Structure 1
Amino acid sequence: MAEHILPHIVNRPLSLVRCPGGIQKECFFQKHAWAGLDNDLVRRVKVSDDEAVAIQDLAGLLALVQAGVLEIHPWGSTLKNPEKPNRLVFDLDPGDGVGWDAVVQGAVDVRDHLQGLGLVSLVRTPGGKGLHVVVPVRPSASWDGAKTFAADVAAAMAKASPALYTDTMAKRARTGRIFIDYLRNGRGATAVAAYSTRARAGAPLSTPITWEELPAIRSGNQYRIGNLAARLSHLHGDPWADFGNVDQMIPKAGRRRR
């Protein structure tokens, strides 16, 4: 899987979910280096006042596997430019009573809203119950600017379709609606990496798909360790092949109205 996952995680600050005894025992979120870490393979990095870990290659990835890491959550920025995010993530989190078809339509609605702002987006199953819409951007805006823009998108969609979407995190606001989680775009916040496993029963993975495939997807955890190899063997190229070639900027506040 290295050729698929490494472009999404190398040379970025990482947060990790470690399960040394497997998912049936204790798992924990780890943002900092730990005792016994091989510093030649997994680097300790300082990002202003924050500490994180980072890898550069397959050897680093294997070191994480050896340490019981089951989930890899990269920052939305690189080590080279840590204060300027180069990707945004909108996490569609369905509340109780929301069916899968509504989640699919929600992702399409986010895509269409972003298109109206001049932005190309991509979609992936997160290995959970929703979908992620991911937006590659030029690292030009600050973290505050990126989060404000993402919040504006979520708020605009919730205002336009209040029966379908909410930008409120509170559990009671989500019943029957989809929470458009824009909070993944704050400094130090993370989202699971494309092709990372999840520390959940059945070993699902976060899996990039194309917009054309989306209507045929039946759940956010459809792809797992057991069936991902078959999927990749039947693909004609990487669904996100153009991810690194997208050159676009977060629009300035005055240009955000559709």
Structure 2
Amino acid sequence: MSAREQSTGISSSRSRADTPVDVDGVRITHPARVVYPDDGITKGEVAAYYAAVADWILPELINRPLSMVRCPGGTDSACFFQKHHAAKLGSSVRPIPLEEKGGGEDDYVYIRDRKGLLQLVQMNTIEFHPWGSRVDKPDSPDRIVLDLDPAPGVAWEAVVEGARGIRDLLDGMQLTSFVRTSGGKGLHVVVPFRRGPGWQTVKDFCERVADAMVERAPDRYIATASKAQREGKIFIDWLRNARGATSVCSWSLRARDGAPVAMPLRWEELGKVASGAAFGMQAALERAKSLKADPWDGMAKLQQRLPKG
């Protein structure tokens, strides 16, 4: 048995037969189907990964409206976002009726436990993108995500410097922040806060933070989504902090070559990371096994408030 097979619990002989396997009580069909062609990672191994990191990822997911990236044919085929509920997703994948932008209501998705997580994986979910609010009060957000998205050619060191700059700016507002790799090109700076302000207030605050970064260094940062103006700069994406907008959560795989993972870090670890996609699935599994404490330890207990105005 290979090292990867040992770590995931899916044997090559079992995979070749492609018979359903049980992963933590959830039936995973077609476990030998290759999900990441360039890496040879199968659906069974993806399921085993999420079972192994469930205790780490679930605090980011449970009781939050959720969008998923599903890839029924693997990551090299047509993947799609899904945010609405369907019975076929599984008995532990629950509906939450939410008001739509155009009026009326529709059922969105949320989960409460490991079984719901793995049922979504059985339905070929690769990425998990939760809301910044919870299902009991979906219009009362409790966290923001500022995404540093570098243009091609921007050095990784500049992205790290930008994340630290946002942290310092937030520190000046008495706000504690946390950092993770995005599993793509950049970094996310995450700020939890006490529920109270509505979505528009939160979005306005995020825009002010992004604008403050641009004012400090207009040659390095941009706060608009215009690709024509982004050459050589880092886009401080504050637009993810609106009602219905989402960001990938910590420990989620990304549907990209190399099976990268969005990985939470301690701020002091940031200088040791080489890119936003530094952690592949195997490296994430090894990190999950070796961690003695949550890199974001203390986040859940913070009772900080966003400043007004």
Q: Same fold (TM over 0.5)?
A: yes
Q: Counterpart in 2 of 1:225? A: 281
Hey, what's the Cα distance between the residues in 1 that align with 2:252 and 2:301? 22
- For residues 154-193 of structure 1, the aligned pairs below 5 Å read 154-193=210-249
Q: Which amino acid aligns with 1:46?
A: P
Alignment-derived partner of residue 236 in structure 1: 292
SS of corresponding position for 2:256: coil
Deviation at 1:44, TM superposition (A): 1.5
Asked whether 1:139 is paired with 2:195, we answer yes
Structure 2: gaps of 5 or more residues: 1-52, 101-105
Question: What code does the residue aligned with 2:288 have?
Answer: L
- 2:98: which partner in 1? 47
One of 271, 274, 288 as aligned partner of 1:215: 271
Give 1:104 deviation, angstroms.
0.3
The offset of 1:237, in angstroms, is 1.0
What is the match of residue 256 of structure 1? none
> Any runs of at least 4 consecutive aligned residues in structure 1 with deviations exceeding 3 A, and if so which?
none
Deviations 1:11-62 (A, max 9, x none): 1100110001111221111111236232x31112112335310111011001
For residue 118 of structure 1, the aligned residue among 174, 181, 191 is 174
The number of residue pairs the alignment matches comes to: 252
For 2:148, the equivalent position in structure 1 comes to 92
- The aligned residue for residue 74 of structure 2 is 22
> Could you tell me how far 1:174 is from its partner in structure 2?
1.2
Pair 1:32-2:84 in alignment: yes
Q: Which has the higher contact order (CA 8 A, sep 6+)?
A: 1
Structure showing greater radius of gyration is 2
Structure 1 runs not aligned, ≥5 long: 254-258
d(CA) in 2 for partners of 1:219 and 1:160? 24
- For the 8 Å contact 1:96–1:174, the answer to whether it is kept is no
Identify the match of residue 12 of structure 1 among 41, 60, 64.
64
Tell me how far 1:120 sits from its aligned partner: 0.4
- Mapped to 2, the partners of 1:30 and 1:234 lie a distance apart of 33
Tell me how far apart the structure 2 counterparts of residues 91 and 37 of structure 1 sit (CA, whole Å).
29
Task: Map Cα deviations across residues 80-134 of structure 1 (whole Å, 9 max, x no partner).
Answer: 1110110000000001221000000000000000111110000000100000000
CA distance in 2, matches of 1:187, 1:173: 26
Q: Distance in 2 between matches of 1:70 and 1:31?
A: 14
Deviations 1:222-251 (A, max 9, x none): 111111122233333110111101111110
